[in-house]
Structure formats: structure tokens, C-alpha cells
Amino acid sequence: MKLTKDMNILIVGLGLLGGSYAKALTKKGYRVTAITRSQSSIDFAMEDGMITAGAASVDPALVGEADLIVFALYPHIFLDWVKEHQDLFKPGAVITDVTGVKGCIVSEIQSILRPDVEFIAAHPMAGREVSGVKNSDDSIFRGANYVVTPSERNTPDAIELCEDLGNVLGFARVSRLSPDDHDEIIAFVSQLTHCIAVSLMTCQQTEHLEDYTGDSFRDLTRIARLNDEMWSELFLLNKEALLKQMNLFQRELDRLKIMIEDDDAEGMREMMRYSTARRALFDKKPN
Amino acid sequence: MKLTKDMNILIVGLGLLGGSYAKALTKKGYRVTAITRSQSSIDFAMEDGMITAGAASVDPALVGEADLIVFALYPHIFLDWVKEHQDLFKPGAVITDVTGVKGCIVSEIQSILRPDVEFIAAHPMAGREVSGVKNSDDSIFRGANYVVTPSERNTPDAIELCEDLGNVLGFARVSRLSPDDHDEIIAFVSQLTHCIAVSLMTCQQTEHLEDYTGDSFRDLTRIARLNDEMWSELFLLNKEALLKQMNLFQRELDRLKIMIEDDDAEGMREMMRYSTARRALFDKKPN
């Protein structure tokens, strides 16, 4: 099943990511509406032309006519929302999300969801260090990865629809992982990196360090500016996988520390050559 | 003493940084020559117009007429060069460098140097993850920091000249630190970050991770592509300070790990809020 222009697409949660979805979809001619808590966000989105209608409360008409609903909410709010309002969903509707952790969300939502509505989870790996619909920007999807995480409960139709959404949004690569594999990888490439950035930012209180800082420190701490409510929730939802990756990283840093202690220049150089070669794989791919 | 246009400036070592110095100085109307090992680098620099003369060997005329010499070499090569060729220096010449570690270099060079020549050390905190004169680019200095590290042997004239060089090159901020303070700070903002990036890049051999990677992982590992010869040397030259900073960082990461283990959401949120506020200080300043 492909995304088509006669479908009604509803975004629930119009922040940076929800707004960027709305922008990208509207630009391509899709019909997009939104529900979010703040009336000023709806007003902004209407004036900007990124949605055709919106409400600052759970509007039964908007929910009931939506063929595809994208939930761009904190994980626990998403879960509560579905519990409370799922009777409003249109029969046959497909719902998806943007949550950064999948294992628990996919099974929890799928186990409580009405049988005539399907939840297919996705993780758009794009963001900015600012938030809010006013900062939304559909160019963040360019060159980025979009991962769909189906479970055995999902149908080929919904999986295809969700993958098509990723393509329409403009992601460079759309791929598929099981929810558990996703969480293991995300613990490494996203959560561990945020743990490192935060720890680097808070381990030293020396004043005026910024006068002696180069790009390397700025790069490693860009993501140390983060939404504490969301990230603390994501860390705890993926606790086991994250702790495993933190331990793996700490062992490797210990290995390097021992080389430095032992004046093992050749060992360090070998590690650096491997690091240099492996890093080349990770450059952003052109769309 | 200010940098003036009748001075002869010689760059020894025409790589990315030496080439970027040459470009910036020539653009502003200064007279720049170069000595470097590779004839093709000299040829490139001559064709590009970034130097007025150059040699692929230690040319006594070029060295002997230079009022200011910038050494853009690996630390041990810089030391050997001065030992071997310092008889060629013009009396009254000032020499400076770009080395990323200062404590040992400043005292070693100053202790062997002819009394009629002065070494004033500087650390231009700019670079790229590529190397070679062909990649040189004077825009890397914009918004960046330049640190002069005088010792008690330096004269106010030479310190002022070196600071003026930083300003002429186009750095956003020129500051002054003792060699030891510099090394302590650099261990944190530059060397520790490189250790982290390398360890992050090498602690996992999982294949196809790049298909599921977001910007955070790319940012934290940009500097994992590095010159193994130079960085292993810099790490060992600043071993004690670096190990201290590695331990500091590891303790902080452990603290976060314990919060995650203990489901201490409030503790994490407090740490993240501090990190977010502190990170704001480190944005690049406009020139």
C-alpha cells in the first residue's frame, strides 16, 4: 500500500519533528492536519500553511477521518493517548510514531490496540538541538536514515505504507529492523553518544574553558544540549541495552588508557588507523 | 612589536595548517616563503600563489632572511630541525610553532636555542579531518581560538608579535596561557575528545551500523579520522594531564551509569539540564 494524496494524514504532537513531517508532506501535495496541546502551535502551522486544519484538543472529527496518524509525542504520552482515545480511530486506520525506542512501545501499543487499526513503528533518525514547531525544517531528513521496525503482528501493506512515508519525507535511506535489533543499535549510535556528550559537558567545572576550545569539543558536545524529559525517559526505556553499550565503550576507553600509560605508540597507532578507516563508512550519503 | 609587511615570513612544513597560514598571510599582503619535504607541495603552493618562493630542502638563504619562522611540523621533527639547523637563523629572528602540546616543547626548544633568536609558542586551534597543502583553507581560522603560551624567557615584543600573527590570520579570539595550563586544558578539550571518538569508533565491529546512524554518532566520531602518527605523539607528550582528564570523564560516565541502573530519572534530568545550560557557552563566537 502506497501513501496516496486522497489519504487524510493526521500529526499528533506538533513539535520540531511533527512540524517537519507536516511541512514535508504538505510541500509534496499531501493533506495534513494536526492535533497538539498548544493553540499557538496550531495557529503558527495554519499561518505557515503546513496543515489544512488543526485543533488544540482531541478533536473526534480530525481523528475519525484520518487514514494515517503519526504520533510525535513522548513515549508515555503516546501510550496514554492511544489507551484513552482509540475508540475515535477510523476502522482500517494505520498509526505510526517517531519514538526513539521500540521494543517496549511496539509490544505495548500492539497488545492494547483495536484489532481493526494497525500500529507500525518507525524511527526517523533526524533532529535538531532546538525544539518547537517554529523550528521545524524538512531539510533535516535529507541524507538521513529512517528505520521501520515491524513486529510479527504487522501486515505487508502497513509496512509498505510506512516505508513509503519515509521515502516521501525525503530520507536518504529507509531500512527495516526488528524492534529489539533497533533498540540495541540505537543504544549504541544514539543513546551512548548522548551519555558521552552530557558527561563530557558536566565532568569539568573549569571557568572560561570556551576561550580555549576547538571544533572537536564543540562537535562532541553539540548534543549535550538536550530535552531532559525525553532523553531520561528514552534511557530508562532502553536501560539494559544502553548499559551494555556503555560498558563496551568504557572497556575500549580503558584499553586506550592502558596503551597511553604503557607508552604503547604502535598499539595506539593501530587503533587510530582502524578508527580512521572505519569512520569513512559513516559519512552522510547523498540522497 | 607588530607583524609588518616588510618582514620575511617563512613557513617550515607546508601541510594543511602551514598552507592555511601561507594563504591567509599572502591574501593580506605579507611576504611568505616555505620549506617543506615534498617538491610537489612547493610546486602547488607556488602555482596557487600562496608563497613567493620555496624549497624542498633546508635552503640557507630562505632560512637566513626570515624574520619570523612558523614551524608547522610534528613535535619531534620540529625539535630535531632546530637542533640541526639553528645556525642558519637570522640574528634577532622570532620562531613560533603550531604544536598541540606545549610544556615539554617550550622548555626543550628554549633551552637549546641560540640566545639571539626567540621562540614564542602558539597553538592555533583549527584544523580539518583532511591533510596536505592542497586542502589548506584559511577560513578554518574564522570563529576559532588561538592560544599563545609564553614562558618567563619570552620578551613582551615577541609575545605581541605572536599575538598579532593570530589576529592577522583571522582568529576570533587570541588568548594567553602558561604552557602547563595550556596542556591541562588541551588534554580535556582536545585530547580527551579524540580518545573518546576513537574508542567509540573501534569498540563495536557490527556491520552496516552506518545504515542506522544519525547525526549524533557522526558528530561524535568526525575526529575519529585522524593522523595516527601525530596524535599518538601528542598523547604521549601530554600523558599525565591526559590520563587525569580521562579518569575525570570516566568517573562522570560511571555516575550517569549508576543513575540509569537505579532508575534515577530526576538525577539524570538534573545532569542534563546542567549540561544543556553549560553547552550554550561553547557555541562558536562570531569574529
Strand, coil or helix: A8: strand
Contacts with B188 from chain A: Cβ below 8 Å: 204, 206, 209
Amino acid, single-letter form, for residue A248: L
Q: Is the CB of A220 less than 8 angstroms away from the CB of B220?
A: yes
- Whether the CB-CB separation of A160 and A102 falls below 8 Å is answered with no
Q: Is the CB of B275 less than 8 angstroms away from the CB of A204?
A: no
Helix%, strand%, coil% for chain B, nearest 5: 55, 10, 30
- Nearest 5 degrees, angle CA B84-CA B90-CA B93? 100
* DSSP summary character for residue B273: H
Contacts with B144 from chain A: Cβ below 8 Å: 214-215
Q: Tell me how far apart the alpha carbons of residues A102 and A238 are, in angstroms, rounded to a whole number.
A: 9
Residue among B125, B215, B220 whose CB faces A214 most closely = B125
pLDDT value, residue A283 = 80
Mention every residue, 6+ apart, whose C-beta is less than 8 A from residue B105.
B75, B78, B79, B97, B99, B121, B179, B237
Residue B287 has pLDDT above 70, yes or no: no
Residue B138 touches partner A, C-beta closer than 8 Å: no
pLDDT value, residue A57 = 97
pLDDT value, residue B270 = 98
Give Cα separations from A212 to B18, B107, B171, B183, B195 (angstroms): 21, 21, 12, 11, 18
Q: Which of A195-209, B218-232, B242-256 has the highest mean pLDDT?
A: B242-256
User: How close is the nearest chain B Cα to the Cα of A228, in Å?
Assistant: 5
Residue B20 has pLDDT above 70, yes or no: yes
User: Is this complex scored with an ipTM above 0.90?
Assistant: no
Contacts with B215 from chain A: Cβ below 8 Å: 125-127, 144
Contacts with A244 from chain B: Cβ below 8 Å: none
Contacts with A209 from chain B: Cβ below 8 Å: 185, 188-189, 281-282
Check for a shared fold between B8-177 and B182-282: no
Q: Tell me how far apart the alpha carbons of residues A235 and A241 are, in angstroms, rounded to a whole number.
A: 9
- The DSSP bridge partners found for residue B10 are B33, B69
Q: Is B10 left (phi over 0), alpha (psi -120 to 50) or beta?
A: beta
Contacts with B256 from chain A: Cβ below 8 Å: 195, 198-199
* DSSP summary character for residue B88: G
By C-alpha distance, the chain A residue nearest B189 is A217
Residue among B219, B233, B249 whose CB faces A200 most closely = B249
Best of B16, B148, B181, B225 to disrupt the A interface (most A CBs within 10 Å) is: B225
- Residue scoring higher pLDDT (B58 or A129): B58
* DSSP summary character for residue B189: I
The verdict on domain A182-282 having CATH code 1.10.3660.10 is yes
Residue B256 touches partner A, C-beta closer than 8 Å: yes
Taking residue A54's Cβ as centre, other Cβ atoms within 10 Å add up to: 24
pLDDT digits (tens, 9 = 90+) for A78-93: 999 999 999 999 999 9
Q: Tell me how far apart the alpha carbons of residues B179 and B176 are, in angstroms, rounded to a whole number.
A: 9
What is the arrangement of strands in the sheet containing A173-176, beginning at the earlier edge strand? Answer: A122-125, A145-148, A173-176
Query: Torsions phi, psi of A72, nearest 5?
Result: -115, 65
- HEC letters along A42-97: HHHHHHHCCCCEEECCCCHHHHHCCCEEEECCCHHHHHHHHHHHHHHCCCCCEEEE
Residue B284 touches partner A, C-beta closer than 8 Å: yes
pLDDT digits (tens, 9 = 90+) for A130-153: 889 999 999 999 989 999 999 999
The domain covering B8-177 belongs, at the CATH homologous superfamily level, to NAD(P)-binding Rossmann-like Domain (3.40.50.720)
Q: Tell me how far apart the alpha carbons of residues A12 and A55 are, in angstroms, rounded to a whole number.
A: 10
Residue with cell 624549497: B55
Give A285's pLDDT tier (boundaries 50, 70, 90).
low
Query: Of all helices (H) and strands (E), which one includes residue B70?
Result: strand B68-71
Q: Tell me how far apart the alpha carbons of residues A128 and B66 are, in angstroms, rounded to a whole number.
A: 49
Residue A287 has pLDDT above 70, yes or no: no
Q: Is residue B277 packed enough to be buried (19+ CB in 10 Å), middle (13-18) or exposed (0-12)?
A: exposed
Amino acid, single-letter form, for residue B195: C
Length of chain B, in residues: 287
Taking residue A284's Cβ as centre, other Cβ atoms within 10 Å add up to: 14
Best of A201, A208, A209, A237 to disrupt the B interface (most B CBs within 10 Å) is: A201
pLDDT value, residue B130 = 79
pLDDT value, residue B211 = 83
pLDDT value, residue B283 = 81
Q: What is the mean pLDDT of chain B?
A: 95
CA within 13 Å, CB half, A66: 30
User: How close is the nearest chain B Cα to the Cα of A18, in Å?
Assistant: 18
Residue among A194, A219, A260 whose CB faces B222 most closely = A219
Q: How many helices (H) and strands (E) does chain A have?
A: 12, 9
Q: Is the CB of B190 less than 8 angstroms away from the CB of A217?
A: yes
Residue among A248, A265, A282 whose CB faces B236 most closely = A265
Kindly provide the residue ranges of all beta strands, DSSP E only, lying in chain A, ordered along the sequence: 8-12, 31-35, 53-55, 68-71, 94-97, 118-119, 122-125, 145-148, 173-176
Length of chain A, in residues: 287
pTM value? 0.86
pLDDT value, residue B285 = 64
Contacts with B251 from chain A: Cβ below 8 Å: 203
Residue with cell 549540561: B275
Mention every residue, 6+ apart, whose C-beta is less than 8 A from residue B42.
B14, B34, B36, B51, B54, B55, B56
pLDDT value, residue B83 = 97
pLDDT value, residue B231 = 94
Residue A178 touches partner B, C-beta closer than 8 Å: no
Mean predicted confidence (pLDDT) in B208-229: 90
By C-alpha distance, the chain B residue nearest A204 is B248
pLDDT value, residue A17 = 96
Mention every residue, 6+ apart, whose C-beta is less than 8 A from residue B33.
B8, B9, B10, B11, B51, B52, B53, B54, B62, B66
Residue among B195, B203, B248 whose CB faces A203 most closely = B248
Q: Tell me how far apart the alpha carbons of residues A226 and B273 are, in angstroms, rounded to a whole number.
A: 8
What residues does each domain of chain A span?
Answer: 8-177, 182-282
C-alpha cell at B38: 615534498
- The DSSP bridge partners found for residue B70 are B11, B96
Residue B139 touches partner A, C-beta closer than 8 Å: no
pLDDT digits (tens, 9 = 90+) for A92-132: 999 999 999 999 999 999 999 999 999 999 999 988 778 89
- CA-nearest of A138, A142, A140, A148 to A174 is A148
pLDDT value, residue A217 = 93
Q: Tell me how far apart the alpha carbons of residues B132 and A160 are, in angstroms, rounded to a whole number.
A: 47
Give A286's pLDDT tier (boundaries 50, 70, 90).
low
User: How close is the nearest chain A Cα to the Cα of B60, in Å?
Assistant: 34
Diameter of chain A by CA atoms?
A: 69
Query: Torsions phi, psi of B170, nearest 5?
Result: 105, 15
CA within 13 Å, CB half, A69: 29
C-alpha cell at B111: 633551552
Mean predicted confidence (pLDDT) in A12-39: 97
Q: Is the CB of B211 less than 8 angstroms away from the CB of A145?
A: yes
- The DSSP bridge partners found for residue A174 are A146
